[in-house]
A = this chain, B = another copy of it.
Amino acid sequence: MAKNEKVTIYDISKKLNISAATVSRALNNNPKISEKTRELVMKTAQELNYKQNRLALALKSGKTNSIGVIVPYINRNFFSAVIDGIEKQLTPHGYNVIICQSHEDAINEANHINALLNTQVDGIFMSVSKTTHDTVHIEKILENNTPLIFFDRKKDIPGVSSVTIDDFRGGYMATEHLIQQGAQRIAHFCGDLNLEIYKNRNNGFLRALEDHNIPINKNLIIHTNSRIEAGAEAVAKLWAKKNRPDAIFSSSDYAALGAIQELRKLKVKIPEEVGVVGFSNEPFTKYMELPMSSIDQTPVTMGEIAAQVFLEQINNKQHVLSVEKRVVLAPELVIRKSSNKTKSLKGTPPVSTE
């Protein structure tokens, strides 16, 4: 028996000598169908191994029941956790999640957007790449009237909702914590200022210094990317000079990891001589030989809320021209050994110690 051919509602209708319309109705639990017919149809559908063709449905209804997510990399815990959050919320609603990686390249981003729009996805979630300056390719999503939700890394586009964390606050908390630990010369590893998130973390850092009357020293602000090597190099440079820092706040956990590795090579005592705080609370920070303090971005929550914003948005589409909702989540400081000189400390929420 060749199972080659796809079985359609017509096959069922022929077998039962009823119309395809009736089959369709029965399959969709239309109340105007007799119980007998419905059961018969259901049974035959099973027997014939009928599978609804979502393509046809999508073409007819204009809804594909799938959404696209574009992230820089899927193997960053932060991003995969956000995706988990989105999936968790949307799967029960019958949505399919299409995941795309931009690899931090605006061109890939544009291609993916095109492909997703051609696929007629019902919505797009994205965290923009570092190389995305121009937003014309992003605006195509809006021209296409497809809901767009930014998460974490956003661009300021009117009418576009976003879910982010308060990066300013995160930067502030990390810095203030280091100050409270006695630090006076805090170095900051600052990410690409093209991205709001890094700018905000940087501003939080600066404000914390100000508020505590610590002079700002430009030499201690190092522009690094999010790679381990970048952190190691930064430390190497800083320690080659006089007037070394007594703490490091890195906008990236990976750069912070590199920094710690280099510091240990240099036999610098952590946290006694130098306290270190990273950002993102990647899982490895917890499992390091010298566990690292970091700022948790509650990525799963971020994904869940992004999904909720999306659902609201498509339900409100009656007469509304554009809805825009900007959700900002609170970051959480997780204090671990790399910045904790005191054995016991009283953490004030939302600060947690491990």
Q: Which residues on A are within 8 Å of B, measured CB to CB?
A: 3-4, 6, 49, 51-56, 58-59, 64, 66, 73-77, 80-81, 83-84, 87, 91, 96-101, 111, 114-115, 117-120, 143-145, 228, 257, 261, 264, 284, 287-289
Contacts and interface: CB of A to CB of B under 8 A. Distances in A.
A101 B81 CA distance: 12
A313 to B, nearest CB: 16
A206 to B, nearest CB: 30
B119 A54 contact: yes
> How often does this chain occur in the complex, in copies?
2
B51 A59 contact: no
Contact of A3 (B6, B49, B66, B145): B145
Nearest to A254: B287
A288 B289 CA distance: 9
Nearest to A71: B74
Contacts of A119: 54-55, 66, 96
Q: Which of A75, A99, A120 has the most chain B CB atoms inside 10 A of its CB?
A: A75
B49 A4 contact: no
B58 A55 contact: yes
Given A49-B143, A75-B75, A289-B264, A55 B120 contact: yes
Given A118-B51, A143-B49, A289-B264, A98 B101 contact: no
A245 to B, nearest CB: 21
List the 4 closest pairs (A to B, CB-CB), nearest first. Answer: A75-B80, A99-B99, A54-B118, A74-B74
A52 B118 contact: yes
Contacts of A53: 59, 118, 120
Contact of A145 (B4, B80, B111): B4
27 contacts: A6-B144, A49-B143, A51-B118, A52-B118, A53-B59, A53-B118, A54-B119, A55-B55, A55-B59, A55-B64, A66-B119, A74-B74, A74-B75, A74-B99, A75-B75, A75-B77, A84-B101, A96-B98, A96-B115, A96-B119, A97-B99, A97-B100, A99-B99, A228-B287, A257-B287, A261-B287, A264-B289
